[in-house]
Amino acid sequence: MSVLDIRVLGDPILRKETSPVAAVTDDLRRLIDDMFETMHAARGIGLAAPQVGRLERVAVVDVEGGKQPLALVNPEIVSVEGSAKGEEGCLSIPEVYGDVERSAKVVVRALDRDGRPIEVEGTELLARCLQHEIDHLHGKLFIDYLSVLKRRAALDKWSKQKDQYPGYIRRLTAEDVAEHHRDEEL
């Protein structure tokens, strides 16, 4: 498995529509495994393919630190309930946070890492994360939901640090990766 570079805000791929996956192949499984590795090294709870420069309709989610890692191929929200506001961040917009109103509960249908159909019901953080990642698969980012003023503040904050990511690439340091492997040994 390898840790992939993360694309940050400004890279046009984050705004692209992904393509549904026709078949879950070994190549796709390799991408899924690399995405898990990358997400864990970056200490994220979700990661979508465009964030690593790919346009397959695939996301990974792990809101419980390894207890329920979910690989989602062609995920689709099939029902929603209620609404809830909560703070979000994004591995592709480091250091920027904002409150987003989302459905409080969602049911998602997808294929898993083996190509089998699954249905995932999420509330609280899982519901939020599922919606955030599925948005990524359709070119949508959490900052799109912020009010004009809050979005401007978020983009100002981002513009002050985006120079740290030449070519819109966030390369995880060897330290991030090593620490992640150390965590895994526990």
List the catalytic residues: 133
Residue nearest to Zn ion (CB): 90
Question: If binding is defined by CB under 5 A, does position 14 make contact with Zn ion?
Answer: no
Residue 49 engages Zn ion in binding (rule: CB under 5 A): no
Place of tokens 């393509």: 19
Task: Pull the structure tokens for residue 25.
Answer: 């192949």
Helices (H), the chain: 26-41, 124-136, 148-161, 174-185
Q: Which is nearer to Zn ion, 90 or 154 (CB)?
A: 90
Q: Which residues, 114 to 173, sit near Zn ion by CB under 5 A?
A: none
111 in contact with Zn ion (CB under 5 A): no
176: left (phi over 0), alpha (psi -120 to 50) or beta: alpha
For residue 56, give the nearest of 90, 15, 88, 28 by alpha carbon.
28
Point out which span in 20-28, 31-39, 88-96, 143-151 binds Zn ion (CB under 5 A): 88-96
Residue 9 as a binder of Zn ion (CB under 5 A): the answer is: no
Q: Is 90 in the site for Zn ion (CB under 5 A)?
A: yes
Q: Which residues bind Zn ion (CB under 5 A)?
A: 90
